[in-house]
Structure 1
Amino acid sequence: MSESAVQKALAATEEALSGIDEELERHAAGHGRVSSPRQLTSIRDQLAQMVLHLSSSPLPPKPQRVRGVGRVIADSWTYDSPLAALVLDADRLYLQA
C-alpha cells in the first residue's frame, strides 16, 4: 500500500486515540458522554496497537491486523457520536492501508 495511505491511517488513528483519551478524562471527572471507562480503555489499547503497526514497516498482513474495534462502536455507540466517527474512520483506514 502507498506510504500516503499509511500516513493518512496513522493520522486518523492518532486523532481517534486522542479523542478516546479526552473521553476517558471526562469519565474520570464524572462527565463521560460515551461508553464506559472499561470499554474505552479496551478501544484505546487496540488503537495504540494500530499506531504501532502503522509506525512500523512493513504492516502486518491484513488477516493479522487488529480487528473488532469498529464492530464494538457500530454495535453499542450512538450513530451521532463524533468520537464514534473518528474511531470508525481510523479503523477503516487502518484495515485498508
Structure 2
Amino acid sequence: MAKKDSLKKHLQKGSLKKDLPSTEEIEKITEQVYNKEEETKKEVKEPKQRTTIDIPKSLHIAAKMEAMKDGISLKEFLLNLIRKELDKRNNTK
C-alpha cells in the first residue's frame, strides 16, 4: 500500500515525467532510422561459410593482440589478412 501512495505522490508532483523530444527531433530520428533501413536493404549480403581451423595457441594470442591494437575483432583481422594475401597473389599474376 505504501508503494501505491508513494507512486501517486510522484505522479501528482510530476517527478516521474520525462522531457519528451520535440516533434522536429522525433521526425529527424525517424528519418535517420528509415534511411538506415533503406541502406541496409540496398546492400546485398554475400552468403557466409563457417570454417574451423586449428592454430597454435601462441599464434592465436599474437593475432588477437594485433587485432586489439587495431581496435577490431579477431575475425575482422583474419579476414583482412586473407583479403590482402589474395589481392597480392592476384596482382602478381
TM-score bracket for this pair, using the shorter chain length: under 0.3
TM-score normalised by structure 2 residue count: 0.24
Which one has a larger percent helix, Structure 1 or Structure 2? 1
TM-score normalised by structure 1 residue count: 0.23
Report which structure shows greater RCO (CA 8 Å, sep ≥6): 1
